Amino acid sequence: MTGPVPSVPSVPSVLEAVGLVKVYPPAGYGGRSKTALAGVSLSLAEGSCLGVVGESGCGKSTLARLLVGLEQPTAGTVTLQGRPLASYPRPELARRLQLVSQDPFSSLNPRLTAGRALTEVLLVHDGHAEVDVAVADGQVIGFVRYGAGQDEAGGYVFGLYVHPVRAGQGVGRALLRHAEKRLREAGSGTVSLTVFEANERARRLYAKAGYAPDGSTRVEPEYEATEIRLVKALS
């Protein structure tokens, strides 16, 4: 087969490592330093996957920890979207890059309840909102996010979730009352939220709780669905 080879458009690198070296100091007196990585370089393009294969103890886990900033390399650099990993403030880096461990015992903090662990994830990705989680029999059955709304005069409910198994059991109403109480105590005179226009069940829940449309709507671009804004005065 002959002919010109078609050009392949270049895809920007999202995550890139150049010359990574990781040397661990001696564990004790008379011990030897251990080189876990010696000059590893890789590039991960947007929308792609990269597999690292090797025998046990060859440095795969060390490489992963360096790539997400959990450890610092002895030499070499890691960049995320063209920016050095070390230049990211820790909260921002946590929102952009995370390590998912194959071992749940090493990925979950045993000192935290399931509810608290989920709360921390929500706080990392939405730091301006408060989060409360409802737990029953050791399982998360719902959560509510709320706080001072962006461009809102009062409080704002960012999201309300109830586990489908617990739907219709009053969990959503209880979480909503809890959020309103917290907002009232914080000095908010009103609370607002948005709901999908087509979600009749949620709209009935909020109507029974005293929420009414204020006439404003917006189209949620991710779902291409219309949201309506509901408002309630906190007495």
**Tell me: the pLDDT tens digits for 58-109?**
888 889 889 988 888 999 999 998 888 888 887 677 778 877 766 655 555 5
Range of the domain at 59: 13-106
- Whether 2 is covered by a domain: the verdict is no
- Residue 1: the pLDDT is 38
Q: What is the Cα–Cα distance from 189 to 206, expressed in whole angstroms?
A: 17
Clarify whether residues 90 and 123 are in a common domain. no
Clarify whether residues 100 and 117 are in a common domain. no
Q: What is the Cα–Cα distance from 148 to 157, expressed in whole angstroms?
A: 9
Last residue of a domain, one of 84, 106, 128: 106
- Residue 223: the pLDDT is 72
Whether residue 112 is predicted with pLDDT greater than 60 in this model: the reply is: no
Clarify whether residues 188 and 98 are in a common domain. no
Clarify whether residues 113 and 52 are in a common domain. no
Strand order in the sheet with 225-233: 130-136, 139-148, 155-162, 190-196, 225-233, 212-220
* 62 token code pair: 């060390």
Do residues 229 and 213 lie in contact, with contact meaning Cβ atoms separated by under 8 Å? yes
Q: What is the Cα–Cα distance from 104 to 113, expressed in whole angstroms?
A: 14
Give bridge partners of residue 212 from the DSSP assignment. Answer: 231
Q: Give me the percent of the chain exceeding a pLDDT of 90.
A: 8
Look up the CATH number of the domain holding residue 61.
3.40.50.300
Q: What is the DSSP string of 45-89?
A: ETT--------TTSSHHHHHHHHTTSS--SEEEEEETTEEGGGS-
- Residue 212: the pLDDT is 93
Least trusted range by pLDDT, from 28-32, 40-44, 114-118 = 114-118
- Whether 182 is covered by a domain: the verdict is yes
pLDDT tens-place string over residues 123-161:
555 555 677 777 777 677 787 877 765 555 568 887 787
Number of structural domains the chain divides into: 2
- Whether 217 is covered by a domain: the verdict is yes
Compute, in degrees rounded to 10, the torsion defined by CA atoms 230, 195, 143, 148: -50
Clarify whether residues 192 and 114 are in a common domain. yes
- Whether 86 is covered by a domain: the verdict is yes
Give bridge partners of residue 56 from the DSSP assignment. Answer: none
- Mean pLDDT on 171-199: 86
pTM above the 0.75 mark? no
Last residue of a domain, one of 106, 133, 166: 106
Whether residue 196 is predicted with pLDDT greater than 80 in this model: the reply is: yes
Clarify whether residues 158 and 77 are in a common domain. no
